[in-house]
């Protein structure tokens, strides 16, 4: 069963200044969006951030929509 996208987004005042992050890691939603807007593909982002899953990128996109 596919997890809901919102469960992948966490907000913790102790991490990244309370900004929305992916699964409690220090990868902020805005970082993913910035990489996408800079023209990186999802595969390139995952290569640069190997802990990131495809569903995390999708969650970041849905979070802002």
Structure tokens at 65: 């929509």
Rg for the chain, CA atoms, rounded: 11
Range of the domain at 9: 5-64
Read off the pTM.
0.89
Rounded alpha-carbon distances, angstroms, from residue 38 to 43, 45, 51, 55, 63: 14, 11, 20, 20, 19
How many structural domains are present in the chain?
1
Q: What CATH number did the domain enclosing 42 receive?
A: 1.10.10.10
Contact (Cβ atoms closer than 8 angstroms) between residue 43 and residue 35: no
pLDDT in tens, 14-53: 999 999 999 999 999 999 999 999 999 999 999 999 999 9
């Amino acid at each position: 069963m596919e997890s809901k996208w919102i469960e992948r987004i966490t907000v913790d005042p102790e991490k990244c200044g309370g900004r929305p992050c992916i699964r409690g890691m220090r990868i902020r939603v805005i970082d993913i969006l910035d990489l996408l807007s800079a023209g990186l593909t999802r595969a390139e982002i995952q290569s640069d951030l190997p802990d990131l899953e495809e569903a995390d990128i999708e969650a970041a996109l849905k979070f802002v929509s």
